[in-house]
Structure formats: C-alpha cells, structure tokens
Amino acid sequence: MNRWQFTSAALAATVASAAKIDSKINGVKIGVQSYSFRTMGLDDAIKAMVQCGIGECEMYSTHAERAAGSPEPPPGGGRGAGIRDNVRKWRLSVSLDKFKDVRKKFTDAGINLHAYNLSFRKDFTDAEIDRGFEMAKALGVKVITMSSTVSMAKRLAPFAERHKTIISMHGHSNLKDPEEFAKPESFAAAMAESKFVGVNLDVGHFFAAGFDPVAYIKEHHARITNLHLKDRKKNDGPNTVWGQGDTPIKEVLQLLKKEKYPIPANIEYEYRGEADPATEVKKCLEYCRAALA
C-alpha cells in the first residue's frame, strides 16, 4: 500500500463503523461534494446527505465557514474589498473549535468527511493560507481540494509539506488560460512541485476540455485524491442531466470497480434539475448504482 492509498484508507476509518452510512457500491466509494447543496445551510445539507444515503463528503468551504460564523455579504450581494478584508480577519481570529464542531456534525450523522474544499487564490495572505491548513486539521481531514491556479501550486507546496496535508487541484475546461487547470500538462506541473500536490479530477470538465478521464485515471490514480462526477456535452458543452451528456461516467466507475482504486467518486450536482437538490442527487446516486451493477 503506497502513501496515497494509506491516506485514503485512514480517512475512511475516521468514523465509527456502527454509526457510519455506507454508500459504497460494489466496492466503489460514492460520495458528494457539498456544493451540490449550495442553496442550503450546513445542517440542511447534512440532512439531505442522510436522506440520500450518502456516507462520504468533500465539504465546500462556504458550508463550513458560514456554520462557524463567517461574515456574510450584505443583502443584494457584494464582494468588494471591505467584505474580503472582513472574511480574512475572521479567518485569522475564529476559534478552531468551531471547525471541530462542524466535523462533529458529520460524525454524528454517520458521514465521513474526507476532504475540505477551500480554494486558495492569489489574494490570500500567507497567514490566511496557513490558517486554512489549520482549519482543515480541525476538521480532521488530510486533503484540501481547490479551484486554484498553476502558479499558486508553487506557492502552496511548502505549506502542504509543513502541514503534511495534500493539496488537490480541481480542473475546469478553460484551455485558453495557461493559469487554469484543464490540460494534463497543468496538473503535471503542479504535481512536480511536491509529493503533497495531487489531483481532484472533475471527469465532466476534463472530458469537455477534450481529454479522456478513463485513460488519465489509469495513469495517475496514485496521485488522484478524489473525483467529481458530472455529465457534460463534449467540446466544452453544457452540464446535463446524467445520461444525456457525453461524459463516460459509467466507464470511469467501472474502472474504479475493476481496479479497486480507493478513490472517492463525489457527485457534484450542477445541471439545472427540475426538483430539489436532494432529489436530484438521489437520481445521480441511482445512476451510479446502475452503472456499477
């Protein structure tokens, strides 16, 4: 068992088996990115996960930070410099016990929290970055996923090494901006910075950008911390209801099953569904179940 497999196995064992919701399907870990429930507060999002029968979660930072008391934008929105400064000050001063309380909500619900999605961008100070790693530790996770940039990987690698926490780069389908993670070469450049840099492969975005997620997973599975599952049309096409796009979701899941890769495959509900998020995520879970039959 290599270090990455060991980390995955250790994370899976952090919740007592008697209370844990088991959402493995034929050996494949099916979880959810809590962004799927972005219209809900944390408590309602956790209730929705329980309702769906999902026992693995990668938590969207907004859920954690709002639950821990982060400042909210004024009515009508607005994310100017003043709001950004307030959030930064709050991050540097909030008690980490608030994040331990957030983790407890998942534990009490029988859900394993295996990653924290906090997207470090260029406007983060070093102190704020360091605090983000401390928040992840308080949440009990060893993986921070993020939508960041290629140049940030170099800056973040020393933090990851010092905190012994894997930073996992999430890709999109923007092939024009060399700072965006879309091409295999961009992920390779980031991983070259440190053994603590990995890949959060979004199979829908990766496919829409023109690449084969099945082949990529085969080659790089040891450095992939988790997947995002969604369906998109090819050639940078839109998100679709699962089964109506071109993304090889079934082939990806069958690969995980066949090779027994311990990679959590997280549902990320982004298409425009006709029902509430919990109902739509349930549909996605049933799609996974059929694909893994």
Which two tokens mark 255? 């690969």
pLDDT at 11 over 80: no
pLDDT reported for residue 18:
40
> Mean pLDDT, to the nearest integer, of 162-173?
98
Which residues sit opposite 85 in a β-bridge? none
pLDDT at 76 over 60: no
Q: How far apart are CA 138 and CA 197, in angstroms?
A: 20
pLDDT band for position 3 (cuts 50, 70, 90): low
Provide the 10 A C-beta neighbour count for residue 121: 10
pLDDT at 26 over 60: yes
CATH tag, 3-14+21-71+79-291: 3.20.20.150
Q: How high does pLDDT run on average in the chain?
A: 93
Burial class, 30, CB count within 10 angstroms (exposed 0-12 / middle 13-18 / buried 19+): buried
pLDDT reported for residue 83:
87
pLDDT band for position 17 (cuts 50, 70, 90): very low
pLDDT at 75 over 70: no
CA torsion 17-62-115-286 (nearest 10°) is 60
The residue written with tokens 């998100």 in the block is: 239
pLDDT reported for residue 92:
98
pLDDT at 8 over 80: no
pLDDT band for position 77 (cuts 50, 70, 90): low
Q: How far apart are CA 35 and CA 230, in angstroms?
A: 13
pLDDT at 250 over 50: yes
pLDDT band for position 2 (cuts 50, 70, 90): low
pLDDT digits (tens, 9 = 90+) for 54-63: 999 999 999 9
Report if pTM > 0.85. Answer: yes
Burial class, 118, CB count within 10 angstroms (exposed 0-12 / middle 13-18 / buried 19+): buried
What's the per-residue H, E or C state across 133-153?
A: HHHHHHCCCCEEEECCCHHHH
